[in-house]
Each structure stands twice: as structure tokens, then as C-alpha cells.
Amino acid sequence: MVQHWEGVKWILGYLKGKKGHGIMFGNQHGDHSIVGFVDSNYAGDSDDERSTKGCVFTLIVGLVCCKSIIRSLVAMSTIEAGYMALADTSKEDVWLVGLVKEVSIENGGA
């Protein structure tokens, strides 16, 4: 328990010294488009060989959504793992575009 507390104190001290730092995503489209990135791996989970999917969505210069999940289904190939990740991420994209339109931010789509 003491080791964990020391680790927490180290992390908080590190973050305190980085207040002015952050991650900025540039918008290459020059508008208010949602931009998405997705990646997957095949059988990356060492316990049961399930695939992992990760995605990131940005709007203007900020991160809107980021996920990393282990798939509940086992993919049969790297191609299938990629298609599964793309299908899930496309659903997320459609939902985010609708949300952006609903809050009255112009959006050209993903």
C-alpha cells in the first residue's frame, strides 16, 4: 500500500509541473469537421487472443472521444478485426456527427 501511495504522489507531482502542457490536434480540413482515427490488432490479448480496438475523434483542435476496448468476439483474421473496428467506429462517428449538429456547431461530416 505504501508503494502505491508513493506512486500516486510522484504522478501528482509530475502533473503539477506540466500544467501548461497538453495534446493539440490540428484540423487539416479548416472547418468544424469531426475527424476520426481507428486502429485494431488481431489476437492482441495474451489471455484469450481477442482483438483490441482503439479510436480517437477530434473536433477543431480538441479531443472529443477516445476509446480502447478488447473485443467480445474473436476475429478470424487481421482483415476481419479491422472491419469490425471500422464498423464500430463508423457507428460512433454517425452518433458524434448527430450530436455536433444538435448542439448547433457546423459540421461537414467525417
Q: Where are the domains of the chain?
A: 22-102
**Per-chain mean pLDDT for the chain:** 80
Tell me: the pLDDT tens digits for 8-47? 999 888 888 888 877 666 655 566 778 888 888 887 767 7
Please report the pLDDT score of residue 23 as a whole number: 66
Nine-digit cell at 88? 464500430
Q: Which residues make beta-bridge pairs with 68?
A: 54
b/e burial code for range 13-29 (CB count within 10 A of at least 16 → b): eeeeeeeeeeeebeeee
pLDDT surpassing 60 at residue 105:
no
